[in-house]
Structure 1
Amino acid sequence: MKLSLLSILLFSIILSCKGQNIDYSKVFLENPNSVSVVDSSHIFSTSENFELATKLVQYGEKTTRQIAVVTVDSISPYNDIQKYATDLGKYWGVGQNNLDNGLLIVLSKPLRKVAIATGFGTEKVLTDSICKQIIDSVMIPKFKTGDYYEGVNMGVDRLIIIWNTAK
């Protein structure tokens, strides 16, 4: 009897521990396709948005690598901005499928969080450690002075330099 009751209890627990199903179309912004900067938080001026987008598009045309920048007010239902950025990058398809050569920067000013998500191909060069170092030493110091554009712009420049020097 004890074994039977224990079996039923374990079975019930296992059934209740299903993975969280997320409807990404309700969580994430609509896929902008060819847009490289989606400033939904309106952090950047029109000229800053244009300059950053131009830089990212030109880099993509020259190298086939894709970089996108997104600003958001919320990452709900997520708690971890890195997981949010990774899932958003996958959902949007940043980078080329066969190369996984995409990179997505997600910035949330209200949450005071930033993340860099890389495709598997990109991650070989721009490791999590390198991305964290760029966030901590380049981007966040600028964010602390309120210069979000310069923080993102300088972070992108540093990422591009490292990416370009890789073989």
Structure 2
Amino acid sequence: MVDGANLLSVSQRRALSNQLVDAEKRSKHQFVVVTVKSLGGHDVADYSQRLGTFWGIGRKCFNDGVLLVIAPNERKARIAVSEGLREALTDAEAGAILEKDILPRFKTGDMPGGILAGSDAIIREITQ
């Protein structure tokens, strides 16, 4: 969990980090949440793909990582799912999580609530 945009309180970051570690222990799939101040002029999909590749999210031999990127200043969010997890978390399911769990809270100004609800939904999908 990297909160570069400082959207979460210290206790929220700690709780989410613990939740992510627990989910990885149970499922073996790596899930990372990142908030950024800026996408640096990049498209959110391109930024997510580059970041996931650079950080090596997921186990290399299984290609099973998930990355939730939030860029509040550009009003962009994306759930990037590696190929090895597309059965557990399809693009349609990722889109539904954005539309149902994350974006409605963001629209009311509840950034932490959107991040936490989206993370919960992603974890439910990848740990089933």
**Structure-1-length-normalised TM-score:** 0.73
| Residue matched to 1:133 | 96
Question: What is the match of residue 33 of structure 2?
Answer: 69
Aligned length: 128
Deviation at 1:76, TM superposition (A): 1.7
Distance 1:85 1:146 in 2: 23
C-alpha separation in 2, matches of 1:130 and 1:155: 11
Using CA pairs under 8 Å that are at least 6 residues apart, name the structure with larger relative contact order, 1 or 2: 2
Corresponding residue of 1:28: none
The within-5 A match list for 1:13-92 is 37-78=1-42, 80-92=43-55
Which letter maps to 1:72? V
In structure 1, C-alpha distance between the alignment counterparts of 2:57 and 2:18, rounded to whole Å: 17
Q: Does the aligned pair in 2 maintain the 1:86–1:118 contact within 8 Å? A: no
Gaps of 5+ in 1: 1-36
Deviations along 1:35-93, one digit per CA (max 9) or x if unpaired, are: xx100111111001001001001111122111101111111241x20221121111100
| Distance in 2 between residues matched to 1:139 and 1:113, nearest whole Å | 11
Structure 2 stretches of 5 or more lacking a match? none
C-alpha deviation, 1:129, in angstroms: 1.4
Task: Give the corresponding residue for 1:145.
Answer: 108
Once the two structures are superposed, residues 114-141 of structure 1 have per-residue CA deviations (whole angstroms, 9 ceiling, x without a partner) of: 0011111012321211111110111001
Structure 1 runs (4+) deviating above 6 angstroms are none
Give the superposition deviation at 1:97: 0.3
Matched residue, 2:79: 116
Q: Which has the larger radius of gyration?
A: 1
Instruction: Supply the distance in 2 between the matched residues of 1:62 and 1:125 (Cα, whole angstroms).
Output: 14
SS of match in other structure, 1:51? helix
Deviation string for 1:90-109 (max 9, x for gaps)?
11001000111110000011
- Using the alignment, how far apart are the partners of 2:127 and 2:11 within structure 1? 26
